Amino acid sequence: MNTLQSTNLINFNSLLFLSDIEVGKHFYLELNGITFHGQVLVVSSLVILIVFIFSFLGTSNKNIIPNSWQNFMESVVEFIKDIAVNQLGESNYRPWLPFIGTIFLFVFGCNWAGAIIPWKLIKLNEGEFAAPTNDINTTVALALLTSFMYFYAGFSTKGFGYFKRYIEPTPILLPINILEDFTKPLSLSFRLFGNVLADELTVSVLTVLVPLFIPLPVMLLGVFASSVQALIFSTLAGAYIAESVEGH
């Protein structure tokens, strides 16, 4: 084997080695031969369960004068309704309120699950629990779901006439308008992923360096930032749907 072949073999083996490196440690679950990301599956299931419990408690015994749980859930619904109305208007918000509400509650719950629950106290053989939204697969899935919904919104209201938007106001903008449909899910997914991951890494580093007092304000800031990220994601989802429905 000559020197060039040896060099190419070394480079190829190096690429194979780099492709096996993972960012962080994760644990996986095997169910019926299918591999699941354990962190995302477990914590997402917990978040969904908590949202379901709160919804059940708030709607199981409805009264004209709401009790504490009903009053809490009505406040949550009013808040989500305001997001939808501000983006879609009074006449168009109702069909999309369930989707926007579900996106907001899920992202909000996932972000808070990473910000306030001390997952590091639970020791695992490999990997650790964390917010599902600090995994790029979760945020990309949410972004693609949002993209599907605004395509559906435009097509369901305008039919094939919806695709005229790609050549408006001039056919010269066709490539840019097509590119925009790729940049929307990219910006949605990376914004949420980057902010949640950065917050958790910051808290982790400060906890190692200064174990007690300094991380507490950062954790409180992380809780606030997690809420803002959920609001931003659901607001942009509503804005994209409004753009498809209204055509501007």
Q: Is residue 184 part of a domain?
A: yes
Query: Is residue 231 domain-resident?
Result: yes
- Assess if residue 18 is contained within a domain: no
- Report d(CA 207, CA 211) in Å as an integer: 4
Q: Is residue 54 predicted with pLDDT exceeding 70?
A: yes
pLDDT digits (tens, 9 = 90+) for 115-163: 887 766 676 676 677 888 888 888 999 999 999 998 888 888 888 777 7
In a domain, 7, yes or no: no
| Domain, as residue range, for 166 | 28-246
Q: Tell me, yes or no, whether 10 lies in a domain.
A: no
Residue 99 has pLDDT above 90, yes or no: yes
| Residue range 49-75: mean pLDDT, rounded | 85
Inside any domain, residue 147: yes
Q: Which of 195, 233, 232, 226 is nearest to 112 (CA)?
A: 226
Looking at the 3D structure of the chain, how many domains does it have? 1
Q: Is the pLDDT of residue 230 over 70?
A: yes
